[in-house]
Amino acid sequence: MIYILNNPANPAIMLSEALRRAAELLDRGLTDVDLGVPQFGDARYTPVPFSAANFRDLPLAGPGATLGFVDGGNREVLHAPDFSVQLVRVCSLLFRNGERAPHRTIPSRIEFLSIARAFPRGGEIYYAAELLPVGRPAEAFLPDPESLVMSSRDEELSSGRFRLDISVVGAAARRFAEWQMLAGLMEHELDRGDIAIRDGTLQTAVRNEAGPASAAFSAAAGRGVVLTALAKTSALFTSSGVSLLAAVEKLSRDAGRTGAWYYHPLVKNDHPEHRAEIFACRLHPSSKHVFRFEILRDQARAMDECALRRVFGDLAANSRDLSFPGYPYGLVDVDETARVRRSECSALKALLASALAGKGSWQRIESHLSAQDAHDVLDQI
């Protein structure tokens, strides 16, 4: 066994030296690295080699299409290994002529409680949920509870030998409700040529998610609304191990692109569960961020360059707010509206605990909670 002795008189000297060497390693790893080609790790994605010719400048568009934004949030009220109570909130916002616009038909915000429980089936543990709408308007957007039944060892979501945490059920309920809100927005609030923007991607990731996603895809096609998604983060790489979006950003600098632009094609995508054409974009000249942007595949492939520039131009026109230039303000606003805060759930937990105490069952519930709340105790020490 090897022991490394720090100097107790000045341990910061060793830490500062370690940080200096870390900076050297990071600098060496980011300097003059071959960009490689986009890499998606699936044969249904065919990479397209990088080319400066794939950049397109964005027009300085004024207010154009109506934009509809959708996002959701969820947070646990109670959590134990065998049950999870979550508050789920899904919101949509409209921007018309550059300003917030009222909804005509559907609610702009819905909330519901997801009560997930574990149960045995065929020698394995499964999870299921009951959904309780908060107010009648939420009822139309609730997922089918049968679609949320999942094995605790679901191969699409589990990692290695470990069971899924039961909290994934509430997160799945939020995703499904987001798709249904998106479909409702396109069917009742947006018109042909308008643009719907989902926070994230158009890819389905949870078992049975294809159902509500397909309903949104059908609404887009039937109404002629352009269905899109913008992801705040991306874990995609190139074949040389470089962040894909960082590689596109470096390519833009090397090509002398100083304004707003979109980049396409990155990849030829024939994945049946990811019906999207994938772009990279910088939506403001002063933005430090390049984002992944997707358009429903059939719609994007039917567009000419003029139509694509209009979509990106309308999005860029909504991305001029000084608080986050280059990121659509509609997504900032809908994220803020949909976010479920810890303080809200603390209050709900107190109300639920009081209701359970009134039934004489809070002590029994606490025995389940104590199986997993030791971390909360440590966090308060």
Are residues 356 and 323 part of one domain? no
Residues spanned by the domain of 355? 348-379
> pLDDT digits over 147-163, tens only?
999 999 887 776 566 78
Q: Please indicate, yes or no, whether residues 369 and 256 belong to a single structural domain of this protein.
A: no
Same domain? For 364 and 298 the reply is no
Same domain, yes or no: 81 and 146: yes
Over range 315-329, report the average pLDDT.
93
Return the DSSP state at 30. Answer: H
CA distance 306 to 308: 6
Contact criterion met (CB below 8 Å) for 36 and 247: yes
Tell me if 343 is assigned to some domain: no
Q: Measure the CA angle with vertex 210, ends 293 and 281; round to 5°.
A: 0
Average pLDDT over residues 229-245: 88
Domain total in the chain: 2
Same-domain status, 334 and 357: no
Please say if the pLDDT value at position 128 is more than 90.
yes
Residues 322, 366: one domain? no
The first and second tokens of residue 96, run together, are 């018309």
242 has pLDDT over 70:
yes
Tokens of 116: 């997930």
pLDDT at 365 over 70: no
The DSSP code for 283 is -
Whose tokens are 């772009």? That residue is 279
Question: Token digits for 92?
Answer: 């949509």
Q: What is the CA radius of gyration of the chain?
A: 24
pTM for this prediction: 0.88
- pLDDT tens, residue by residue, 163-175: 899 999 999 999 9
Same domain flag for 111 and 171:
yes
Considering the domain architecture, whether residues 279 and 370 belong to the same structural domain is answered as no
Do the strands 124-134 and 109-121 form a parallel or antiparallel pair, or are they unpaired? antiparallel
- Residue ranges of alpha helices (H) inside 189-233 are 210-223
Contact between residue 300 and residue 308 where contact means Cβ atoms under 8 Å apart = yes
Could you tell me the CATH number of the domain that includes residue 92?
A: 3.30.2170
189 shares its domain with 111 = yes
**Is 27 domain-assigned?**
no
230 and 367 co-located in one domain: no
| Judgement on whether residues 77 and 211 belong to the same structural domain of the protein | yes
